[in-house]
Structure 1
Amino acid sequence: MCALVSIIMPSYNAEAVIALSIDSVLSQTYTAWELIITDDNSSDSTCEIVREYINKDERIKLLRLEGNSGAGIARNNSIRHANGRFIAFLDSDDMWCPEKLEKQIKFMLDNAYALTYTQYRKIDDVGNITGIIHPPERVNYRELLKSNVIGCLTAVYDTKILGKVFMPTIRKRQDMALWLNILKTIDYAWCLPEELALYREGHESLSSNKVKILATQWDFYRNHLRFNVIKTAWFFSFYIIRALKKHGVRKSVQTPHS
């Protein structure tokens, strides 16, 4: 009998994209899953779209928060209601390739890995590939401090090894904070070296995003991890250099399934 995978999806005003995300889950060759969507008080038709899917597939569940609380709290709400051995993450604007779960769960079971991630592609609003992310084969706590190489849409952890682990309730960098907490208890997280997910880039200008990302990362070191200024500057310098390398892999425009 296949181990159950609980797919954790936060949603907020995602009416334009959530159907594509859910469809990518329905297309999985690994069928032992439940999709737990926690809506963060959307004001559009996101929940109505999800309910249409629920009427067709009982593996999909919808929970709602009374107020807008952020993606981390929405994800934690889904984790609390999860029944699966494996916890996987997929945001409502991202997608998986059909064999993502099948290959990744086998990778974890064959090697007894507690936390894994994969390579992935970046796409724009219309689905053109804008970049490819190839993270390192493995990462430990100290290396992850220098760069969050684990794409949230690719991450899976095993509750049989770790128990249920929740995201810190911070507005930004909740995923990185979670991986760091897990890596305090295990030696490495491991990468399955295949492009098995599609990450949809945001709508804001690239220059605006860069400034916000850098400010958020500095704040994460200083206020969440409580690093002093010298230690923050040390890891922040690595973060900037690796971010430039990470986002420098570009491909010519093509469709996601080419």
Structure 2
Amino acid sequence: MPTYKCGRFIEESIKSVQTQTYQNWELIVVDDCSGDGTVDKVLNIEKADDRISIYQNSSNSGAAVTRNTALRNAKGRWIAFLDSDDLWEPTKLEKQIKFMEENEYAFSYHEYVEIDEQDNLLGVHVSGKKHVGKFDMYACCWPGCLSVMYDASKIGLIQINDIKKNNDTAMWLKVIRKADCYLLPECLGKYRRRANSITPKPLWKRIWAHYPLFRVAEEMNPIAATFWVIMNVFGNAYKKMRYVKTYQPS
């Protein structure tokens, strides 16, 4: 759980881990110099639950460096991710581990819905392809970060180059080289939409943010990086058209 200025939400996010039906977990929180009381809140929770550990960056370093720190300190076989404003459903870990063990998968993701800053459903349900191969993942980021799980005993330690955006996708591009990704067709998480998200708002900025993903994180030449940026335009449009459903929240 990387965190930066999420003091308003992090206690609820941690609670969604603590209330899992699968209880053999460790939670590694890495704070990127929040300065908003986030660390104090986590420390108070940590005192009562020794499965939780918090680390602090010495300077504001960005999400990629922060995720790398968390992964280096992880001890478990099954690696899962939860940003400090998102939520897991109580059966997420139990169901996803069972899904992977029964099918001998090393990499998986699941469906999720979107909520606002007040926990209200936004009427958006995100699914994806049942089987995601290497080409699929390069052409489109299919998993939401809160939905991913991989088997570290088969994948090994993942570390990514320092990019400011799409650093979660950079991780999936490392993992997909070693194992295909499979969808667990159940909604097991809630992704929070926030007004001050670092995700660029104009469409052209969201598209251009993919260039460092391929040029820096994947160390591609400019032509190859540009090619995959263009592929992502089509890939993400296809995902949104076919796998992102809107509904009227009850």
Do both share a fold (TM > 0.5)?
yes
Please provide the CA RMSD for this pair: 2.0
Q: Is 2:89 the counterpart of 1:93?
A: no
Look up the SS of the partner of 2:175 in the other structure: helix
1:223, CA displacement in angstroms?
A: 4.3
Which residue pairs with 2:103 in the alignment? 111
Conserved? CA contact 2:159–2:171, under 8 Å: yes
Q: What does 1:1-258 align with in structure 2 at a 5 Å threshold? A: 9-130=1-122, 131-186=124-179, 188-204=180-196, 208-225=201-218, 226-229=220-223, 231-232=224-225, 234-247=227-240, 249-254=245-250
Q: Distance in 1 between matches of 2:215 and 2:65?
A: 21
1:107, CA displacement in angstroms?
A: 0.9
Aligned residues: 244
Conserved? CA contact 1:114–1:189, under 8 Å: yes
Q: Distance in 1 between matches of 2:165 and 2:12?
A: 25
Runs (4+) off by over 4 Å = 204-207, 231-234
Unaligned 5+ segments in structure 2 are none
Conserved? CA contact 1:129–1:251, under 8 Å: no
Q: Distance in 2 between matches of 1:86 and 1:109?
A: 11
Unaligned 5+ segments in structure 1 are 1-8
Q: Distance in 1 between matches of 2:189 and 2:181?
A: 18
Q: What is the percent sequence identity of the aligned residues?
A: 34
What letter matches 2:247 in structure 1? K
Q: Distance in 2 between matches of 1:84 and 1:25?
A: 15
Q: Could you give the per-residue CA deviations for residues 140-179 of structure 1, whole angstroms, max 9, x where no partner exists? A: 1111111100111111111111222223322222221221
